[in-house]
Amino acid sequence: MARIVVVSNRVSLPSRDRDAQAGGLAVALRGFLKRGEGIWFGWSGRTVAKGEETLHRVDHAGVTYITTDLSRSDYQEYYNGFANRMMWPILHYRLDLAEFSSRDLAGYIRVNELFADGIHQFLRPDDVIWVHDYHLLPLAKALRERGHQNKIGFFLHVPFPPPELLTALPKHERTILSLCHYDLVGFQTDGDADNFERYLTNECLMPSRNRRTFIAGTRTMRIGVFPVGVETVEFERLARRTARLAFAREVLASLGDRRMIIGVDRLDYSKGIGLRVRAFDQFLADYPRWRGGVTYLQITPRSRSEIREYANMERQIDESVGRVNGRYGEAAWTPIRYVNRPYSRSTLAGLYRSAHAALVTPLRDGMNLVAKEYVAAQDAEDPGVLILSRFAGAACEFQAALLVNPNDPEAVAAAIDQALSMPIEERRARHRQMINVLAENDIKFWGSRFIGALTAPSDGAYRPWQASA
């Protein structure tokens, strides 16, 4: 079997605290690579002075981790700059937050070249390369320019917006169109894949064989939909075990006989945490019988704090949590418990299982693994209720969740009331539908479907392809 080389900006290195690293990509790839041998290449997480970037290698449980440091300016321009101040907001439909700088774009291209140089050193001709997420759109092009004709696939973990929005990205051909150097480009949902197809057809006038196969020079580039999953069986087992352990019992005991609602998100504006707090405020106002009877636990590790929008949002959420607690709280009851720290997977699993409902209300999300983890963690006999944003990719598979518009605090408040009042038969029926999806499409299935599609025979040797746009 061919060696798989996984490439992503964020690498979950084996360490004592890796189990508490937030971020869907790292969690998903960790699950995928448990299947056997492979290489995981990416950023070491360290910044160093220019010229002192080193490659590091760690071998652990069949996986070789090769990582590179970044110089401080590369980190600033590529990660904090182009990837997270330009690409992230645009891909999440937030043009108002996007900040373009040619310097950041140059840094982004430069780091992709640096990654390609790093990979070039160990690549074998029959390796299958799987690149992940918006940090690395131009990587295949850089590898092709170094002569590599390997199968190279790309998977986007985040949403792909309609072309009308995407073309607001200055010089979008340099980044988005470079995806055509991959053999297979995978998305979370049909809507994302359709948006990419429309971009290629209408904006770039790219010839296609059908809506999912495009002709890029003498090569073909295929588009596919591969909704990412979780480690369904293992996660349920973990949740069952830890819900019985001291920590989960202590949390439950501290709630008395109150219901618990849980939210778990990186501190990111795409997650809609501020609006969620407002919806909980609305819920306490509209349904006063629940006052004193329910506690909302929001677990939110800080993320990308060096970026201004993130720092501002952090302050705003702190303030709105304080306002709700001040308005409704009592000496013996705090309506919202707000925690800014990571937890181990087992602790999270136990907390999910103990919660009567989960609030997963991103304004826009590629998939949202928290929604899937929450469902996987439930006791099938007495499951909690998932309140899910219709704008999360997970909503395509989870029609049995209580689907809400996160921009409508009254609707979310009504869904909270419905979740907490839902009869057990309905809870079981909804859970059954969702767990069936998760049982089939777990993380291993996701990985093997993608690699299977990538390595399936297709035609043509590589000849450099140039965008006509």
Active-site residue, from 69, 104, 365, 442:
365
259 binds ligand F6P, rule: CB under 6 A: no
Interface with ligand F6P by CB under 6 A: which range of 18-26, 336-344, 349-357, 394-402?
A: 18-26
Residue 345 vs 356, nearer CB to ligand F6P = 345
Where helices occur in 329-423 by DSSP H, the ranges are 345-354, 369-377, 409-421
CB of 170 to ligand F6P, least distance (A): 22
Q: Which residue lies nearest ligand F6P, judged by its C-beta? A: 23
90 binds ligand F6P, rule: CB under 6 A: no
- The contact pattern for ligand ADP, residues 263-292, with x = CB under 6 A and - = no contact, is -x-x--------------------------
Where helices occur in 287-421 by DSSP H, the ranges are 308-328, 345-354, 369-377, 409-421
Q: Which residue lies nearest ligand ADP, judged by its C-beta? A: 24
Question: Cα(20)–Cα(282) distance, rounded to whole angstroms?
Answer: 32
Residue 439's Cβ-count burial label (10 Å; 0-12, 13-18, 19+) is middle
47 binds ligand F6P, rule: CB under 6 A: no
Question: Cα(421)–Cα(232) distance, rounded to whole angstroms?
Answer: 27
Q: How far is CA 17 from CA 192, 248, 368, 443, in A?
A: 33, 19, 22, 22
Query: Which residue in 46, 304, 323, 449 binds ligand F6P (CB under 6 A)?
Result: 304
Active site residue 172: no
Instruction: Yes or no: say if 116 and 146 are a contact pair by the CB < 8 Å rule.
Output: yes
348 binds ligand ADP, rule: CB under 6 A: yes
Question: Which does residue 140 bind out of ligand F6P, ligand ADP, none, counting CB within 5 to 8 angstroms by kind?
Answer: none
Interface with ligand ADP by CB under 6 A: which range of 23-31, 37-45, 100-108, 443-451?
A: 23-31
Question: Cα(444)–Cα(9) distance, rounded to whole angstroms?
Answer: 21
CB of 143 to ligand ADP, least distance (A): 25
Q: Which amino acid is at 136?
A: L
Residue 130 vs 328, nearer CB to ligand ADP = 130
23 binds ligand F6P, rule: CB under 6 A: yes
Question: Which does residue 304 bind out of ligand F6P, ligand ADP, none, counting CB within 5 to 8 angstroms by kind?
Answer: ligand F6P
Size of interface with ligand F6P, in residues (CB under 6 A) = 11
248 binds ligand ADP, rule: CB under 6 A: no
367 binds ligand ADP, rule: CB under 6 A: yes
Provide the pairing of β-strand 184-187 with 208-210: unpaired
Question: Cα(269)–Cα(313) distance, rounded to whole angstroms?
Answer: 7
Residue 229 vs 342, nearer CB to ligand ADP = 342
The answer for residues whose C-beta is within 8 angstroms of residue 102's C-beta and 6 or more apart is none
Query: Which residue in 79, 182, 280, 343 binds ligand ADP (CB under 6 A)?
Result: 343
Place of tokens 């699993």: 349
Active site residue 148: no
Burial 164-200 (b: 16+ CB within 10 A, else e): ebbbebeebebbbbbbbbbbbbbbbbeebbbbbbebb
Q: Which amino acid is at 428?
A: R
CB of 75 to ligand F6P, least distance (A): 11
Instruction: Yes or no: say if 79 and 310 are a contact pair by the CB < 8 Å rule.
Output: no
Active-site residue, from 92, 148, 157, 181:
157
292 binds ligand F6P, rule: CB under 6 A: no
Question: Which does residue 409 bind out of ligand ADP, ligand F6P, none, counting CB within 5 to 8 angstroms by kind?
Answer: none
| Eight-class DSSP state of 269 | G
Residue 25 vs 200, nearer CB to ligand ADP = 25
Instruction: Yes or no: say if 261 and 357 are a contact pair by the CB < 8 Å rule.
Output: yes
Q: Report 119-158 residues binding ligand F6P (CB under 6 A).
A: 133, 157-158
Instruction: Yes or no: say if 373 and 31 are a contact pair by the CB < 8 Å rule.
Output: no
Question: Cα(30)–Cα(228) distance, rounded to whole angstroms?
Answer: 13
Query: Which residue in 197, 236, 309, 373 binds ligand ADP (CB under 6 A)?
Result: 373
- The contact pattern for ligand ADP, residues 430-469, with x = CB under 6 A and - = no contact, is ----------------------------------------
Place of tokens 């309506």: 335
Of 184, 113, 185, residue with least CA distance to 146: 113
- Per CB under 6 A, residues contacting ligand ADP are 20, 22-25, 27, 264, 266, 299, 301, 342-343, 348, 367-370, 373
Catalytic residue numbers?
Answer: 157, 365
